[in-house]
Amino acid sequence: MKLHIPGVRIKHTLPDVAPVPSLTLPLPEKLYMPLSMHIGAPAAPCVSVGEQVYKGQKIGEARGAISAAVHAPVSGTVLAIEQWPSARGGECETVIIENDGLETLSPDLCPHPECENDADALVALVRECGIVGMGGATFPTAAKIDSARGKMDTVILNGAECEPGLASDYAAMLERSDALLHGIRLLLMACGAKSAILAIEENKGEAISLLSGKLPADGSVKLQTLPSLYPQGGEKQLIYNTTGREIRSGGLPADVGCAVFNVETAIAVAEAVESGMPLIERYCTLSGSAFAQPKVVRVRIGTPVRHISEAAGGYETAPKKIILGGPMMGMSVYRTDMGVNKGSNGILAMAESGSESERQTSCIRCGRCVENCPMGLMPNYLNLFTRKNAAEKLQEYHVFDCLECGVCAYGCPARLPLVQQMKLGKARLRAWQNAEKARKEAQK
Ligand code: SF4
Ligand code: SF4
């Protein structure tokens, strides 16, 4: 299986904006904190309606090992705990907080110097602070460290920006370089790894020169420059392109001795140790043709999308389509009163709807999708097998290896909705596998 980025490249462009200084927005009157904004079990609310909460106070308890705690991003009063539209699609239980504007800190917050050299204590703190993968994947970081401890030699820091048109990682690396390097040291210690690779795409020149001048003298952290190509930030691509190690189909980074963390995740880990502050804020890129000018902003998690666009100067043209995330993997949203979550690295507002459905034709068997797929898959066949509900074929052709990166759909002259088909194909295969398992158990 080839894991490098073959064929036509999607250039990893940056928005036409200086990534720093990022803009800190005025805070909204109400914040909407989804209790499910990570991979895994939703958090369980641990506050009640009417209760006073403080900035950084835990309001949702992690449920199980693959889950993440949720914290109040401001001080104020819990107005409601109810189902609300979620940036991950559908609705989920959400704690709605009325901001009192006082920014009163939770009395529980304090620095944690004991975590500097104690891996168990650090993992517990990371879990307590609700830190998740901030490149968009939102996998709980404590669970990732736990699953890989003692099995790896290399920690890779993903500074490759997960999608074209975003500059959130770039801004984070420039504005929080010291915290980033502290976070890398902490992650190395927690994972028991020998060395770290800080992987940055070549179009982020300022970050490369700033960070290369600050690397630790002991050589434990190396900076590696990568071509600016999408999907460079995919975990398997990044591991292959930095270490040459290939992960087998269905395998994990730990199988090849690696763990990958987004640069903002490393910063969040450092912040948890330095001040005890949980994950309540992140960088977010505002771009797209409806904005007069793209911007990188610092937002509190839970801030409604509408407030962010208005506070950042509003639209130049009324948007016809709003996407949370990047242009390739982001999700269209139809309401703007939902709060951004821990994985919201961008808001794209498009002046045109971009609907391609009327131009769809049948597959012309050009093979472009096969040539371009970074996972070496055959999207044209997977599309066919999904339509035919041929679950065994979907398995044989490794649909679960699909990153949902959108490269195949981007270059498809027939305008086929290939990513949606991959998602559907995975759901169909999962259902078939469950039914097979149940059938075999019944036979036993
Ligand atoms: S790129 Fe589109 S038209 Fe070409 S083979 Fe793939 S699915 Fe068919
Ligand atoms: S969406 Fe999946 S099938 Fe399409 S190019 Fe990306 S990895 Fe390949």
Tell me if 8 CB under 6 Å of ligand 1.
no
- Count of helices and strands (H, E) across the chain: 13, 19
Q: How far is the CA of 287 from the centre of ligand 1 (A)?
A: 29
| Residue matched to tokens 């839970």 | 302
Q: How far is the CA of 387 from the centre of ligand 1 (A)?
A: 15
Tell me, what's the pLDDT at 333? Answer: 86
Domains of the chain: 110-275 (3.40.50.11540), 359-443 (no CATH)
Residues 13, 11, 309, 339, CA torsion sign? negative
Tell me if 41 CB under 6 Å of ligand 1.
no
Residue 125: count other Cβ atoms within 10 Å of its Cβ.
Answer: 22
Residue minimizing CA distance to atom 4 of ligand 2? 408
Residue minimizing CA distance to atom 2 of ligand 1? 412
What would the pLDDT profile of 252-264 be if each residue is shown by its tens digit? Answer: 899 999 999 999 9
What would the pLDDT profile of 45-68 be if each residue is shown by its tens digit? Answer: 999 999 999 999 999 999 988 999
Candidate from 372, 408, 412 with most ligand 1 atoms within 8 A of CB, to mutate: 412
Q: How far is the CA of 364 from the centre of ligand 1 (A)?
A: 6
Tell me if 439 CB under 6 Å of ligand 1.
no
Q: How far apart are CA 34 and CA 38, in angstroms?
A: 10
What pLDDT tens digit does each residue of the chain (444 aa) get? Answer: 444 444 445 666 666 666 768 889 999 999 999 999 998 999 999 999 999 999 999 999 999 889 999 999 999 999 999 999 888 778 899 999 999 999 999 999 999 999 999 999 999 999 999 999 998 789 999 999 998 888 899 999 999 888 888 999 999 999 999 999 999 999 999 999 999 999 999 999 999 999 999 999 999 999 999 998 888 888 888 999 999 999 888 888 999 999 999 999 999 999 999 999 999 999 999 998 898 888 999 999 999 999 999 988 888 889 998 989 888 888 888 889 999 999 999 999 988 766 545 578 899 999 999 999 999 999 999 999 999 999 999 999 999 999 889 999 988 999 998 988 998 999 899 999 999 999 999 988
DSSP-assigned letters across all residues of 163-206: STT--HHHHHHHHSHHHHHHHHHHHHHHHT-SEEEEEEETT-HH
Tell me if 425 CB under 6 Å of ligand 2.
no
Tell me, what's the pLDDT at 150? Answer: 86
Q: How far is the CA of 419 from the centre of ligand 2 (A)?
A: 7
Tell me if 406 CB under 6 Å of ligand 2.
yes
Candidate from 9, 383, 405 with most ligand 2 atoms within 8 A of CB, to mutate: 405
